[in-house]
Structure 1
Amino acid sequence: MFCHVFLTGPPGIGKTTLIRKVSEVLISSGVPVDGFYTEEVRQGHRRVGFDVVTISGNRGKLARISGDANNDRCRHRVGQYVVDISSFEQLVLPLMDPFKSSTKALNKRVCVIDEIGKMELFSQPFTSAVGKVLDNPSVVVLGTLPVSKGRLLPFVEEIRHRQDVKLFNVTKQNRDEIVHEIVTSIEECRIEKSK
């Protein structure tokens, strides 16, 4: 039986929007939800980077176009973006530790991880934390995985092929209709974890 739910699909298909909708439904039904999603940062019509936003509304820098970053932080790049590992880890890692999380009801909580992709995987502590959360019997993960373009990301593929993961492929045709199905799947995960 699956214990975690992941969404996958190409960039811009609506995975983060779905994550946010599902989180809102779960929270309104009293399910403890914590975690983060990734949001574009724009200046006018131009995308200049990405921020990490927690479910509780805190925000931190994930990446900026290379001209906007300090030289000492330019070690980690994805295309034109420079990843700010320090800012990312400072905001995200405490959310993934069930003993430090601000969520009071840790039993069968939902941990949102949007996303597990190239930028985020520059952080070894993040990769380790994701593994621990996936193995934690009191946590259900609602996450997103990128569709691989070219070279596969081994850690992403490992998650994609776990026996305890249910994967939803998000398309333009189904993205507006699958919120209820995702919520139902998460509830089934929570029930399975309580056995």
Structure 2
Amino acid sequence: MATGFPSRHVLLTGPPGVGKTTLVRKACQLLKDESYPIKGFYTEEVRKDGHRIGFDVVTLDNQRGKLARLSESTYGLAGRRECRVGQYSVDVPSFECTALPSLQLQKETDKVVCAVDEIGKMELFSSEFVHIVRHLFDNPKYAIIATLPIQRGRPITMVEEIRNRKDVTLFNVSKPNRDSILEDIVNVLRTAFDQP
């Protein structure tokens, strides 16, 4: 864990399948149980006959939308080139319709803990998402818990921009530590939320 205090945000990184999304959901549930206002979304695998066929975005108030599905061609409707990550075609309009409203404050006076799982290649096809995420991190009314992919190959500019902020606490999630760091994650968010 690296810290850059005063920290307002928590970033979780680690290999796929290590438990980052589970930690986001557990942290949000603990804070919700303590009456902290919670908003945002997480990403969930979609499986059919035991095989992963894509990903959905699920908001913390249980709205669900398609994020990506296995793609059989490089062209979508009307011959338009698809947004793709590996073998998956990203449904940017569906993602934006579901995820983006879950990140908005209802009133300028609100203060909120916000989950953004994840800030990765699929989500970054949405320029509106990029704009909103930058605004969230700069707005003192938000305490954010977000997941970032581990760096492989060429760095993703937006991911590195967020990873290198001075107001984040970065947790490298691993199987040995994923259960023991939950309370540390929640404490950072409690402190950030309770700051004036």
TM, length-normalised to structure 1: 0.92
Partners in 2 of 1:147 and 1:51 — Cα distance? 20
| Alpha-carbon spacing, 1:48–1:69, altered in 2? closer, same or farther (3 Å) | farther
Superposed, which structure 2 residues align to 1:94-105 within 5 Å? 94-99=101-106
SS at match of 1:128: helix
Question: Counterpart of 1:143 in structure 2: which amino acid?
Answer: A
Task: Give 1:68 deviation, angstroms.
Answer: 9.3
Superposed, which structure 2 residues align to 1:50-65 within 5 Å? 50-65=55-70
SS at match of 2:192: helix
Partners in 2 of 1:17 and 1:112 — Cα distance? 12
Q: Is 2:129 aligned against 1:122?
A: no
CA contact (8 A) 1:38 1:115 kept: yes
C-alpha RMSD of the superposition: 1.8
| Alpha-carbon spacing, 1:117–1:100, altered in 2? closer, same or farther (3 Å) | farther
Q: Extract unaligned runs of 5+ from structure 1.
A: none
Task: Give 1:191 deviation, angstroms.
Answer: 2.4
Partners in 1 of 2:189 and 2:143 — Cα distance? 7
TM, length-normalised to structure 2: 0.92
Q: Give the length in aligned residue pairs.
A: 189
CA contact (8 A) 2:14 2:172 kept: yes
SS at match of 1:163: coil
Task: Give 1:163 deviation, angstroms.
Answer: 0.4
Runs of 4+ in structure 1 off by over 4 angstroms are none
Question: Which residue of 174, 179, 183 corresponds with 1:180?
Answer: 183
Partners in 2 of 1:106 and 1:76 — Cα distance? 35
Question: Which residue of 111, 124, 136 corresponds with 1:133?
Answer: 136
Question: Which residue of 81, 84, 89 corresponds with 2:91?
Answer: 84
Partners in 2 of 1:42 and 1:106 — Cα distance? 37
Deviates more, 1:63-72 or 1:183-192: 63-72
Question: Which residue of 152, 155, 160 corresponds with 1:152?
Answer: 155
Q: Is 2:113 aligned against 1:106?
A: no
Question: Counterpart of 2:76 in structure 1: which amino acid?
Answer: N
Partners in 2 of 1:68 and 1:25 — Cα distance? 42
Question: Which residue of 15, 19, 22 corresponds with 1:17?
Answer: 22
Aligned to 1:27: 32
SS at match of 2:72: helix
CA contact (8 A) 1:74 1:82 kept: no
Task: Give 1:106 deviation, angstroms.
Answer: 2.0
Report sequence identity in percent: 50
| Alpha-carbon spacing, 1:100–1:62, altered in 2? closer, same or farther (3 Å) | farther
Q: Extract unaligned runs of 5+ from structure 2.
A: 1-5
